Amino acid sequence: MHAFHFSPQPWNDTLVAEALKATSLALGPDFLVFPVAPLQDRQDTFRFLGTLELLLETLAGRGVKVALQPSQGQGEALATLMKEVRGEAVGYCWTPALEAETGHLADRLFTARGEAEGQYTALQRLGYRWNMAVPFEDPAEAQRHLAALEASHPMVYFPEIQS
């Protein structure tokens, strides 16, 4: 699994162009993850939804899924908005900051982003397999990071078994 995480930026045509460019890179991402800042008003919400629709249309048939990464404390509001507009084509990217909001995002959780020293019991309780994206630039650092993640959460790649 490869997740391409975008920096925070305005929801507009430039974001769509950057997403299209990311799919043409040799990385072959499975997910494009877009941070979503709190939507301030109707105009902001309209711009976000319009850009999201254009983004989905542009990426259709390219084999990549869109995952939204809500700001801390905004998971419930974003999940509610996406249900209201029937945004079933998008999912969410979980981060440790969203720990308390995992339940609101659970039915559409596509990917997660964390650190080796994090606690991921909320994700294990969801009851299905998931993938954790760990940011790195140096392959040796990545190997150390992933080894620490496996040591702290031996079942991190699989759901917690409930008996």
Structure tokens, 130: 């998931």
Q: Cα 31–10–86 angle (5° rounding)?
A: 55
Check residues 151 and 156 and name the one with the higher pLDDT: 151
Q: What is the CB neighbour count within 10 angstroms for residue 66?
A: 20
pLDDT value, residue 108: 75
pLDDT in tens, 30-49: 889 999 999 999 999 999 99
- pLDDT range class, residue 128, cuts 50, 70, 90: very low
pLDDT in tens, 78-104: 989 999 999 888 988 877 777 677 777
Structure tokens, 40: 């301030």
The pTM of the full predicted model, rounded to 2 decimals, is 0.78
- 105 near 79, Cβ under 8 Å? yes
**In the CATH scheme, what is the homologous superfamily, with its name and number, of domain 3-113?**
Divalent-metal-dependent TIM barrel enzymes (3.20.20.150)
